[in-house]
Structure 1
Amino acid sequence: MKLFCLPYAGASAVIYMKWKKAFGVGVECIPLELAGRGIRTKDPFYQGMRDASEDVLDLVMRHCDGSPYALFGHSMGGMILYETARLLRDRNMPAPARLFISGRPAPGTIDSSEPIHQLPDEQFAQRIVEMGATSPEIFASKPLKDAFMPILRADFRLVETYRYEENEPLAWGITVIAGEEESWTEQELVGWKRHTKDECRIVRMPGDHFYWCNKPESLLGLLKEELTKIIGEMKFA
């Protein structure tokens, strides 16, 4: 079983590198690098969600070899994951065994917060730090600020300009995961159930929006449990 992982806004594939040894035999964790960061620094940022989902679709298909696979995405990564799944379905491509969407409300949820991607640097940096995943030291250092500010702006532009278009439910099971202190309400998470014809499991874990970043053990345990179950069901199918 391959598990493809998509990062949140401002992050790169490196955040999942420790996961590669966490699953043991049977599950191969494959962090996907989005354009404009990490080893893809020279690739232009996405101009919209279609660009992002087409690119991720290509990345996934490069690694597909006939073995089963699942997709995990946190926050922005969950949004891109959903749109990529729609492309997989519409083009009759190899289907994922499961979708794991973390820290993201159901498509079509109205976000009442004010867009921030066009704010002046100082205000933008302050808002990013307030969200909890970015150290203020990054913006205090000019080299780090110059490196990360364009990535963060591009990612938030992608998120804040995304417009969901009503579509048929997917055919695959979805596990939706969020922190207990997450700003998204239970109703906004349960809304995922209408986006699949299969099972939709909602799981809350201790913490806020970035509940797993410092202590990923609980999340990894959940992923192992569900992937192991899927592998077992396939053996007896």
Structure 2
Amino acid sequence: MQAVTAQRELWLRQYHPGPDDGPLLVCFPHAGGSATAFRPLSADLSAHTAVRAVQYPGRQDRHTEAPATRLGALADAVSVVLAAETGRPLVLYGHSMGALVAYETALRLQDRYPAAAPVGLVVSGAQAPGVPRTDGVHRRDDDGVIEEIRKLNGTAPELLADPDVRAMILPAVRGDYEALETYRARPDAPRLDCPVSVLIGTEDTQTTQEGALRWQETTAAGFGLRGFPGGHFFTESHRPQVAAALTDDIRSFTSETDIRSFR
């Protein structure tokens, strides 16, 4: 039991108290991101949903650990932790790279730990798993990696110009991009038994509607796609609307009605 608790504390962060008997939402950050990215969203949802955020190795309080360079390794570790979460409905939510980690975690839970299989998956700012990723950002020099971060408009420019900040974040960012860009979806992967909800920014140059629609291929249950104003980080610029969408999806995933028509 102590080992399980230690692993949960290593991988999951809780920023606000939530109901003990309600659904559990587990959030997966974008490339270069950390668990704290979801602190504001946790505050928005905590009245009716318990929220946990995944902390990848190589950042913040895990900065002494080597970043994972394979997406499957992240999904393996998180699925083991979540295997113990069997007492209430589990919903996974991932943004950008986190969407793929959440998806692979859902597959592992469904296959290896069915008692903890999620009742729903929400992804935002991400192409479907079958869409190739060939940007090669992780092979660029430091300036090239920073330029990619700058294009996404998710980090203050003055921070990216600070040599100390750059030195601190670059190993994790490069490792995350390597994990993302070497990822290949399994051609024989089973479809998820839970519904999948997709959120995209209408001005996001990283996520096309065509690529987002292909998430429908990952589920044998319901599917929904919604667009929001904004670019890749519309989840921050339009957080109240995203929180409302997540609330609606969680309610639909956990209702007794037919979830195949949730959206």
- Report the counterpart of residue 224 of structure 2 in structure 1: 201
- Report the counterpart of residue 37 of structure 1 in structure 2: 59
The answer to whether the Cα contact below 8 Å between 1:32 and 1:59 also exists between their aligned partners in 2 is no
- Report the counterpart of residue 97 of structure 1 in structure 2: 119
Cα pair distance change 1:232/1:89, threshold 3 Å: closer
Cα pair distance change 1:5/1:18, threshold 3 Å: same
Gaps of 5+ in 2: 1-22, 258-263
**SS class of match (1:22):** helix
Q: Residues 1-237 of structure 1 correspond to what in structure 2 (within 5 A)?
A: 1-62=23-84, 64-93=85-114, 94-111=116-133, 114-166=135-187, 167-183=189-205, 184-233=207-256
- CA distance, structure 1, for counterparts of residue 46 and residue 140 of structure 2: 44
Report how far residue 229 of structure 1 moved.
3.3
The answer to whether the Cα contact below 8 Å between 2:126 and 2:200 also exists between their aligned partners in 1 is yes
- CA distance, structure 1, for counterparts of residue 181 and residue 78 of structure 2: 19
Cα pair distance change 1:34/1:215, threshold 3 Å: same
TM-score normalised to structure 1 length: 0.91
- CA distance, structure 1, for counterparts of residue 233 and residue 75 of structure 2: 23
Report how far residue 65 of structure 1 moved.
4.6
- CA distance, structure 1, for counterparts of residue 46 and residue 145 of structure 2: 40
- CA distance, structure 1, for counterparts of residue 100 and residue 145 of structure 2: 22
- Report the counterpart of residue 5 of structure 2 in structure 1: none
* Larger deviation, residues 148-157 vs 206-215: 206-215
- CA distance, structure 2, for counterparts of residue 164 and residue 65 of structure 1: 27
- CA distance, structure 1, for counterparts of residue 63 and residue 103 of structure 2: 24
**SS class of match (2:103):** helix
**SS class of match (2:98):** helix
**Superimposed CA distance per residue, residues 79-126 of structure 1 (whole angstroms, 9 cap, x where no aligned partner):** 111111111122143111110011111111123x53111211122212
Partner amino acid, structure 1, of 2:247? K
* Larger deviation, residues 184-193 vs 5-14: 184-193
**Superimposed CA distance per residue, residues 8-47 of structure 1 (whole angstroms, 9 cap, x where no aligned partner):** 0111000111222212433111111111112222222113
The answer to whether the Cα contact below 8 Å between 2:69 and 2:176 also exists between their aligned partners in 1 is no
Cα pair distance change 1:3/1:80, threshold 3 Å: same
Partner amino acid, structure 2, of 1:152? V
The answer to whether the Cα contact below 8 Å between 2:67 and 2:171 also exists between their aligned partners in 1 is no
- CA distance, structure 1, for counterparts of residue 31 and residue 89 of structure 2: 27
Identity %: 26
Report how far residue 225 of structure 1 moved.
1.5
